[in-house]
Structure 1
C-alpha cells in the first residue's frame, strides 16, 4: 500500500513537471547582444583612496526565458573590463633598516604625489528576474545577482611624483641624502609596473530603462544600472609591505609596492559599486 502511494505521488510530481516543460516551450525566448560603459566607486567604510577617474566597458550575450508576458528569467555571459585608479598625496614614512655594511639606520621617504591604475578583466554570469510592461515602448526593470570571475592576473601601473629618501644614522646623528644607487636622495618621478590576482566577486544588480519594439521579433533596450559588490576582491596575500621598501641590492635599492599590498591599507576593503548604462539588441523566438 505504501509502495503504491509513493508511486502515485511520483507520478503526480512527474506529471506536473512534464506539464511545466510543455507549457514553457510555448513561452517566448529571447537572445541578445549587449554593450555598456560604467563608472566605479567604493563603499565608504574602510575604503581605499580611489579616484573618480575609474571606469570601464562591457560586451556580452544574454538569454531570457519568459514566464508570461511580463516576467522573464535572464542569464548570459559578458566580458567586463575596468580601470581602477587610486590617488594619494604627501605620502611619507620611516622605519628601521640595516645597510650593506650592517649598520643600523632609519630609512625615511616622502612622496609628493602618487597614482596607481589597475587594469582588470573578468567574465560575468548574471541570474536576474525581469519585469516589463506591455506595448510598443515598454518600461522594464531587472534585478538579481552577478558572479564575476577574474581573468588571469590584473596589471597595475604606478606613477610616483617627486620621491625623496634619506637614511638617518642616530649613532652618528647624521642624515644621508645620497648617493642614489644605495637608495638615498632625490629620485624624482618614477613609473613602475606589476601584477596580482584579484578575487572573484558576487554583486547585486538593479537595471531599469525602456524596451523599444523595432519589428515583430526584435527589440532594443536602453537602460541604466547600479551594481553593488558584496565581497572584498583584494588579493589574498597579506598586506605587510611599506609603500617604499629599502633593499641592500645596488641593482634595485628600492622596491615600490601596490596600494593593495601596503600595510597602511591592510584593514581596507576593495568592495566596489558601479553605475553605468547598457544598450541591448534582442531577438525574440
Structure 2
C-alpha cells in the first residue's frame, strides 16, 4: 500500500515537472516570436535647404522631428520598418549686394528702365514636412546592442514660407527715349531708401524624397522595452525648388512708387539672366535621435 502511494506521488511530481517545462517552453517560444516593435522618437537637428544664389551658399539652421514607427523582425538581427514623422526645417541666405533692372512704366505711362541695388539682402525659409519612411535595420544581440538603419522617406510639404528683407535700397530710372537717368525724386520711387521688409509668404516647395542613414546603440529594458540613442543623417534626393512665380525680387509699383516689397530668391525670376536665381534646392538634416520602443 505504501509502495503504491510512493509510486503515485512520483508520478504526480513527474507530471508537474513536465507541465512546468512545457509552460517554460511555450513562454520562451512566445518571447522568441515577438516580431513586432512599435516606437516613438524625437530628433533634434541642424537643417538646411541647400542651394546657391548669386555666388552665395545657404546656411545651416535649426530643425526637429517627432515620429512613430512600426518594425517587423524577420530574424533576431534584421527588421523592416515604416511609420509617420513630422519634421520642421529652416533655411537662410545672406547676399551683400543684388543688382537688377527691367522695363516698366511710371505713373504717367512713360516707359523706362527701373534699376535697383539691394544691400545686405537676407531671406529665411521655414518648412514643415509629413514624412513617410521605409527602412531596413540591423542590430546585434545582447542587453546593449549596436544598430544601423538605412532607407528612404517621402516628405509631403504641409507648409512652407519665407520672409526676406534688405537693409537699404538704391533705385533710379533710365528713360532711353530721352537718354536721361533719374536718381530722384523719391516720390517717383527714385533715390535711397531704408530697410525694406517683405511679409511672410508661401513658398510652395515640391514633395521631397530623402535618403536616410542612422546608427547608434539600443539598450534593452524590462518587459520587452528598449531605448535607442543614435545619430541620423538625411539628404534630399530631388530638387524641391518651387515653380517660377513670375514675381520680381524687387518690383516697381507705379500706383505707389515709394512702396517696395521683397520677394523670394527661391521663386523669383532673375532680372539680370534668364530663369531663376536658384538652380536647385535639396534638403539636408543631421543630428541626435532618441527613441523609445516596445515589442509584442
TM range (shorter): 0.7 to 0.9
1:84 maps to which of 65, 83, 91 = 91
Q: 1:144 corresponds to which residue?
A: 151
Q: 2:283 corresponds to which residue?
A: 272
How far the C-alpha of 1:41 sits from its partner, in A, is 3.8
Aligned to 2:87, the other structure's residue is in SS state strand
**Residue correspondence of structure 1 range 36-55 to structure 2 within 5 A:** 36-41=43-48, 49-55=56-62
Closer, same or farther in 2 for the Cα pair 1:98/1:266, shift >3 Å?
same
- Most deviating of 44-53 and 248-257: 44-53
CA distance in 1, matches of 2:186, 2:81: 59
Q: 2:130 corresponds to which residue?
A: 123
1:257 maps to which of 253, 263, 282 = 263
1:213 matches 2:224: no
Q: 2:172 corresponds to which residue?
A: 166
How far the C-alpha of 1:57 sits from its partner, in A, is 0.5
RMSD between superposed Cα atoms in Å: 2.5
How far the C-alpha of 1:251 sits from its partner, in A, is 7.2
CA distance in 2, matches of 1:108, 1:263: 15
Q: 2:76 corresponds to which residue?
A: 69
Closer, same or farther in 2 for the Cα pair 1:188/1:47, shift >3 Å?
closer
Closer, same or farther in 2 for the Cα pair 1:83/1:209, shift >3 Å?
same
CA distance in 2, matches of 1:244, 1:137: 58
Q: 2:252 corresponds to which residue?
A: 246
Larger Rg: 2
How far the C-alpha of 1:276 sits from its partner, in A, is 1.8
1:103 matches 2:138: no
Closer, same or farther in 2 for the Cα pair 1:36/1:65, shift >3 Å?
same
CA distance in 2, matches of 1:233, 1:143: 22
Q: 1:283 corresponds to which residue?
A: 294
Aligned to 1:82, the other structure's residue is in SS state strand
Count of matched residue positions in the alignment of Structure 1 and Structure 2: 260
Closer, same or farther in 2 for the Cα pair 1:49/1:284, shift >3 Å?
farther
Cα contact 1:42–1:50 (8 A) shared by 2: no
- Most deviating of 160-169 and 40-49: 40-49
Q: 1:4 corresponds to which residue?
A: none
- Most deviating of 241-250 and 66-75: 241-250
Cα contact 1:240–1:266 (8 A) shared by 2: no
Q: 2:162 corresponds to which residue?
A: 156
- Most deviating of 47-56 and 199-208: 47-56
How far the C-alpha of 1:175 sits from its partner, in A, is 2.9
**Structure 1 regions of 5+ residues with no counterpart?**
1-22
For residues 38-59 of structure 1, give each alpha carbon's deviation from its aligned partner in whole angstroms, at most 9, with x where no partner exists. 2234667899944323221011
- Most deviating of 123-132 and 156-165: 156-165
1:180 matches 2:183: no
**Structure 2 regions of 5+ residues with no counterpart?**
1-29, 271-275
Closer, same or farther in 2 for the Cα pair 1:47/1:78, shift >3 Å?
farther
Closer, same or farther in 2 for the Cα pair 1:37/1:281, shift >3 Å?
same
